[in-house]
Amino acid sequence: MTIIPVILCGGAGTRLWPVSRESMPKPFMRVGDKSLLHRTWDRAWSVPGVSHAAIVTNIAYSYKTAEELMNEREARNASLLLEPFGRNTAPAVALAALWARANFGGDAVMLVMPADHLMENAAEFRRAVAQAADVAATHDSLVLFGITPTGPETGFGYIEWGPAIGESRAHKVNRFVEKPSAEKAAEYIAAGNYVWNGGMFCFKTAVILDALMRHAPDVLAAAERVVGRTSMAGKQIAFDAGLFGELPDISIDYAVMEKAGNVAVLPYSHGWSDIGSWKAVSEAHESDGSGNVTEGRAIYIKSRRNYIRSAGRVVAAVGVDDLIVVDTADAVLVAHKSASQDVREVVRTLREQGNEAYRLHTTVHRPWGTYTNLVEEDGFKIKRIVVKPGQAISLQYHNHRAEHWVVVRGEAVVQIGDTEHVTVPGQSRYVPKGERHRLSNRGATDVEIVEVQCGDYLGEDDIVRLVDNYGRAR
């Protein structure tokens, strides 16, 4: 049996602000020594018989995704399916299924996995995948992984299951239930035949495509138009933005699973978490004797059951219980654990205020390296810019600002107009407003510069790209 893991890597993860932001969403958030995406990757490749995998992600995250996995030996057998913008899970599954059929045939079994889950027991995960794949292949079922509830949680959708399918542990799905009230959730727990919708699926390529044709023909037709203008071979497959925009914005649950008659659910009860909130992050870590969980440096005085995550500073908690404190370079979150689902409201408020902290960190990752905002006041901004070996920023100009670059590490090649200047530590270059310019690193070590911007507008959208190595030029 051919099993093809398809990892869905997207979503803003607004409930995990300020660590998860649009420019670096929660699949890239580290839990322990690895990111959630990397842990999902390891889990996918632990399944026997896997020889190829795909990651569906936004083209803006392609460089970060490749960077995360570049040292893994399996990376040579992975494909990145690159979306120009987010379009929900039904289009992602449809495009991945068309890709899988083109490369592996209609009988290939797809294992669709969100990139932001944790599963503690690797052996039980592999056993569950083997059972789900067998049901999918033998009964032509669309198999979901249902998570056995650990309490009356109101933040998940529920699945009611009915009779068993053959001799397997999978059951026919009776119905899907939206996120319930606390009273309803308690009823479901007491009934014993409800599980949380885990957002993981297993099905044959031909079966899911047939289900899309029956229940969501508009999704499938739009996906086929996208694929018709796309080469489905190679390691990075970028979908046409114009045609991609015609895909309906709908989840695979609404589009197919809640309508199809061949849907099965396999209950799973071995240490799963979707890391959907800071409360869930806290519960995924071991606590001390007072129930406190720490990532970074913290001091607790007469405080219990708190979660503190600090990027560098010492955080002291005195006389407080059940709090979440997340300290990053430019933002601090303080919330009660009972309100962890409401963190998304912070992101909404920041967006409405036009505050870039809802989508950008102080340090922003780009395909060529990083930049860090150090100081910003009226009329000027100071940045630290690091360009990786062999990389270059785009050839560009600005309408509203001039820039002064001071090289502090490495050997930079600075193009201003049509002239290139080799610039070493201690030397500087001035870029007038409106002048074409580019910073390149042709050496073997990082180039680091300090950039001082001066002008009447200093936003990141005042960049007109003329030539770009990463497909971002106008």
**Residues 82-114 pLDDT 10s:** 998 888 999 999 999 999 999 999 999 999 999
- pLDDT band of residue 464 (cuts 50, 70, 90) is very high
Q: Taking 70 as the threshold, does the pLDDT of residue 444 lie above it? A: yes
**Residues 140-149 pLDDT 10s:** 999 999 998 8
Sequence-ordered list of residues with C-beta below 8 angstroms from that of 364, at least 6 positions apart, any chain = 23, 24, 370, 371, 372, 373
3-273, what's its fold? Spore Coat Polysaccharide Biosynthesis Protein SpsA; Chain A (3.90.550)
Q: Taking 90 as the threshold, does the pLDDT of residue 414 lie above it? A: yes
Q: Which of 166-175, 229-238, 439-448 has the highest mean pLDDT?
A: 439-448
Percent of the chain exceeding pLDDT 90 equals 68
CATH of domain 363-467: 2.60.120.10
pLDDT of res. 150 = 83
Average pLDDT, the chain: 91
The whole-angstrom separation of Cα 16 and Cα 14 is: 5
Domain ranges, ordered by start, for the chain: 3-273, 278-345, 363-467
The model's pTM is 0.82
* φ, ψ for residue 3, nearest 5 deg: -110, 125
Q: Where are the alpha helices (DSSP H) in 334-451?
A: 344-353
Across 137-292, where does the E strand assignment appear?
142-147, 158-164, 171-177, 194-204, 236-238, 263-268, 272-273
- pLDDT band of residue 121 (cuts 50, 70, 90) is confident
Which of 67, 47, 49, 48 has its CA nearest to residue 57?
67
Sequence-ordered list of residues with C-beta below 8 angstroms from that of 89, at least 6 positions apart, any chain = 8, 199, 251, 252, 253
**Residues 274-307 pLDDT 10s:** 788 899 899 888 999 999 999 999 999 999 999 9
Sequence-ordered list of residues with C-beta below 8 angstroms from that of 257, at least 6 positions apart, any chain = 142, 144, 173, 176, 263
